[in-house]
Amino acid sequence: MGKTSDVNGIREKARPWMARGRASHGWDHVERVWNLCRHIASEEGADLEILEIAAYLHDLGRGEETASGGRVCHAQEGARLALELLREEGFPEETIRAVVHCIEAHRFRAEGVGPQTLEARVLFDADKLDSIGAVGVGRAFLFAGEVGAVLHNPHTDIAKTRPYSSEDTAYREFRVKLIKIKDRMLTPAGRRLAEDRHRFMVEFFGRLEEEVAGIK
């Protein structure tokens, strides 16, 4: 499906865009998502070409979301940018529609847009898997450092904290979002991978609380 020979060109066009956002959502994140897409697709039978393009482009809107302080939805903005780019590159409309849907439906908090295709479900799971486990813990602390948050705030009332602020610690991200991801997975392969990553993450934050309290 589509123009396989142009996928490398899409990758090279996408890479500079990722420098506009934070390092926690940099090009290394894109590469990990693509690797996870391949792993999940091998079990689920999804279209690898659609997934490769969608993985490269899924976070194109991150820079705009960051600049807006979270007011702009990066999934919607990324879908718009991907549509323009893929049409400029002459991809078939069928391919463009499939990729754009994957991108607009990949966000954890997306409202009104749910993954309707196998490829969209695979991208959704791959993107979420990169937010949990050892990598997820590392990314949560990296993001906290980017917004100037403290190391740990277990006694803070999470309901009164704000995202994209000095209160947005890795622990807050864990309690507000990451702990829920395991139950949001959409593919059998994604659910299996999420179970192990979730278990590690819960153990890590439990240990962190003990060390901060001086218990261990």
pLDDT band at 182 (very low <50, low <70, confident <90, very high): very high
Residue 80 buriedness (CB in 10 A; 0-12 / 13-18 / 19+)? middle
Helix/strand number for the chain, H first, E second: 10, 0
pLDDT given at position 216: 79
Mean pLDDT of the chain: 88
202-214 tens-digit pLDDT: 999 999 989 988 9
Higher local confidence (pLDDT), 72 or 210: 210
HSE (side-chain half, CA atoms, 13 Å) at 188: 5
CATH code: domain 1-111 is 1.10.3210.10
In the block, which residue shows the tokens 């396989």?
A: 4
The 3-class SS string of 151-184 reads CCCCCCCHHHCCCCCCCCCHHHHHHHCHHHHHHH
Q: Please provide the CATH number assigned to the domain covering 131-216.
A: 1.20.58.1910
CATH 1.20.58.1910, the chain: domain bounds: 131-216
- Ranges of CATH 1.10.3210.10 domains, the chain: 1-111
Average pLDDT score over residue span 18-43? 89
The answer to whether 86 and 155 have CB atoms below 8 angstroms apart is no
Q: Which has more pLDDT, 159 or 19?
A: 159
Please write the tens of the pLDDT for every residue from 88-108.
999 999 999 999 999 999 876
